[in-house]
Chain A
Amino acid sequence: MRTIVVVGLAVLNAAIALLLSPLLEGLMRKLKATIHSRIGPPVTQPYLDLLKLLGKEDLRTGRGFLYAAAPALTLGSVLVLATLVPMGAAPPLSFAGDIIVVLYVAAMSAVLVMLTGFGSASPYASVGSSREMMTLLTVEPVMAVALVVGAVKAGTLSTAGILAWQVEHGPSISMVIAGVAFLLALQAQAGKLPFDIPEADQEIMGGSLIEQSGPRLALFRWAMWAKQLVLAFLLVELFVPWPRVGILPFDLMLALVKVSLVLVVVALVDVVNPRLRIDQAMGYYLRVAFSSLAALAFAVIGM
């Protein structure tokens, strides 16, 4: 019986990540268009983009198994991530060292994109990949510190445990600071301005993914959109899980509303900012990481 529930929840989470992420991306585009005084594409445009790209010819500039499999692996890693994240219920897959696994799986997609860039024999892709690496190196610590704050508070490394502790104990200073730090990290994880530096269309023409097209590009795009949705879920479920009634459809709808709000904030930040240079972005995230250590200190003294 328990296995069925776990499988059901895992399928549900993966389906949400796959099927809803283009819609949310479409909503973000629409919001940006409104602020630009444009009409913008219909909210379903990302679905159409995916369909169109999936139907195109598969062209490759690199060789080898990893290069060939990278798009599928990238999307796959994001779907695995989705099953490790609570979406209206406890995360379907759970281990003793949950948040460490979450951090690793979250980094996997970025590493795969980076390797694809290095493997595609384009100087722009190489520059993009090295920027991706620098972003990863500075953004991961911020996410790690934020999650560790939760672990310290709840006294467990399990995502479900942190969630349960949060629901029981209500807001605290340390978790608020950690949540803000996580939100700031989300901006770079989602590849949105001012941190879309690894892609930087106007500088390096899409960076790591410059040589990707057709179905490969579709899978990479899909993975990016799904990842921003899943991480937004992680943010709202771990740091603002209230109110929680314990009925899955209700909790899920509420979480979705909160996720949409988070992504609206991400889109708003994106639309009112120019792009930073990689060194400036790294400096910024180092400062965020150090500030989030304050949250850790608060957590240790029980606030």
Chain B
Amino acid sequence: MAKGNGDAERVEEVLGERLGRGIIAVGRPQPDTLLVTIEPGTVLAATQALLDDLGARFLVSVGTDRRPISGDFAVTHLFSLDQSHLYVVLECPVASENPEIDSITPLIPGAAWSEREIRDVVGVSTRGHPDPRRLLLPDDWPEGVYPLRRDFPYNERPPAAEGTRPAWVPTPEGASVVTLGPFFPVLEEPSNWRLFVEGETVVGCDYRGFYNHRGVEKLGDSVMTYNEIPYLAERICGICGFIHSTCYCQAVERAAGIEVPRRARYIRTMMLELERIHSHLLWLGIAGHILGFDTVLMQTWRIREPVMWLAEVITGNRKSYGMNTIGGVRRDVTEVTKARILEVLGPVEKESLAVRDAVVGDTTLHMRTKNVGILENAWARQVCVVGPPARGSGVRIDARIDHPYAAYDEVVPRLCAHDEGDIWARVLVRIEELLDSIRLVREAAAGLPDGPIVAEITEEIPSGRIGVSTVEAPRGEAVHYVLTGGDNRPWRWRVRAPTYPNLQAMPAMAAGGNIADIPITLGSLDPCFSCTERMETVDVRSRNVRVYSPAELLAMSRRSGRPGGGS
């Protein structure tokens, strides 16, 4: 674990100077986490100080309903001081009578969605937010019903409301609208982009997503227990599930002060890197497919398949491994499996190199990806983009290096960054990472220490503790925040997938481009909508006056296919 040491004192000092008596309390839940509780009125000053004087990077905001404990709400802004390996947790208590707080979005554009989400789910509104539309509630969700409040039961289904659908951004003068989605062939998940185009040139766009809410966070703090949640967490994403379960486990382990055995850390590292290998190969294939280059798709997925089989050998499953548990992992890696890993990686590396050479030398690919979908370094920082899109724009961040977890303090990754900010840079970053991950798995396998694979946990996890954890997913940094509760489950569990900040950079990347470039521009973010959309109970209803029950829909789908067959 990295030590926050001296820098934490500096943060305290700076905030003390800027806020004076605005600081209510300062705590150090972990050596690398600084918890600062401030008067809500000073949130803008505190944010400004963190940005200007300390170079902090915004991670995510969390809204918490603490009324049963302390009678108020809390809005918690999480920051990272990457150079100092330090998390700063800025906690603002918000009175329950008039839940409102100043928006930090004018200072940090990347906080826009977080703050809209807080309004949606706990009902704390933000003053001065430039775009206060609804973000993630279903179109027919009634106003004034906040699903993440503690008095809202997880299985409640509020009656459908009308006229609550958020408006689209008005179409600019002279532009016409081309929609991509909610279902579009190359985007495997629902996502609705409304492109404003003049001819074939895109002049702007608006986004509506969150069609896939599964109520994951609500289940976590109302139904499931600490040790059940890892299996739910890994179902957040079908590709990087292990990342989410690791990130959640680490957050709880950190909150509870559980020391994870070295061997378990190494095994986690191996699995995390194997996931990066198959995820990057998958992405390369999809990127090729988006550009109509199906040979790349077919070949990379063929190369990828043995990695999936390998995961099955190690964990029993090709995806959703069920490996992680609080305090370590559930299955050991035997000598036989270790040999198998090295055996599989050889051909994967050889063939990946061949793909790299083919892709890097393809001039037609250059034509489609160079100087296309450009994300400027300054804007990437402002929107707080993470992962390969950030590193492709010269933002040198990587959670494995900035906040070393698992065994990354001993198995050190290489930071792969390029400065061009175009799609080609993102391609190169991912190819370099793919090859580096193969090296990391080998090193982790070679250095696998002896010992137990899970910590023995004898005491109840105390309530009221916080744990912040970041994991570098293939798509970028995932953040999990846990506030422990009393009944063997978190009081609040917040998941921020990497696509959440990355999608917010899309309008800037799309503007000025060609319609033909939009799919690959979006694809170059490696978006994972299911990761982003982990919230909320959903009712399966149309937004029209007519309400269909699932049984009716099923009957309709069985009748359909003939004219006059559907009702």
Contact = CB atoms under 8 A, between A and B. Distances in A.
A275 B292 contact: yes
Interface string B504-541: 00000000001111110000000000000000000000
A124 B516 CA distance: 11
Contacts of A204: 515
Interface string B153-190: 00000000000000000000000111100001110000
Contacts of B295: 35-36, 271-272
A277 B186 contact: no
Nearest to A271: B295
A3 interface: no
A32 B563 CA distance: 38
Contact of B293 (A203, A273, A277, A279): A273
Nearest to A275: B292
B63 interface: no
B364 A273 contact: yes
Nearest to B199: A130
B306 to A, nearest CB: 13
Contacts of A2: none
Interface stretch (A15-23, A194-202, A287-295): A194-202
Interface of B: 176-179, 184-186, 200, 288-295, 298-299, 302, 362, 364-365, 367-368, 514-519, 563
A169 interface: no
A280 B370 CA distance: 13
Contact of A36 (B299, B362, B365, B519): B299
A274 B292 contact: yes
Interface string A99-143: 000000000000000000000000110010010000000000000
Contacts of B518: 203
B298 A38 contact: yes
19 contacts: A32-B294, A35-B295, A36-B298, A38-B298, A127-B178, A130-B200, A200-B292, A200-B516, A201-B292, A205-B184, A205-B185, A273-B292, A274-B364, A274-B365, A275-B292, A275-B293, A275-B516, A280-B367, A280-B368
B292 A127 contact: no
A276 interface: yes
Given A37-B302, A197-B516, A278 B292 contact: no
A78 interface: no
Contact of B368 (A37, A201, A275): A275
Which of A35, A194, A202 lies at the interface centre, i.e. has the most chain B CB atoms within 10 A of its CB?
A202
A193 interface: yes
Contacts of B364: 194, 273-274, 276
Given A36-B299, A123-B178, A127-B178, A276 B185 contact: no
Contacts of A205: 184-185
A167 B493 CA distance: 80
Contacts of A124: 178
Contact of A37 (B177, B184, B299): B299
A37 B519 CA distance: 26
List of 5 A-B pairs having minimum Cβ-Cβ separation, nearest first: A275-B292, A36-B298, A274-B291, A274-B293, A202-B186
A135 B516 CA distance: 15
Contacts of B514: 277, 279
B163 to A, nearest CB: 27
Contacts of B302: 37
Given A123-B179, A280-B368, 14 more contacts: A36-B295, A193-B293, A200-B292, A202-B185, A202-B186, A202-B519, A203-B516, A203-B519, A274-B288, A274-B364, A276-B367, A276-B368, A277-B517, A278-B516
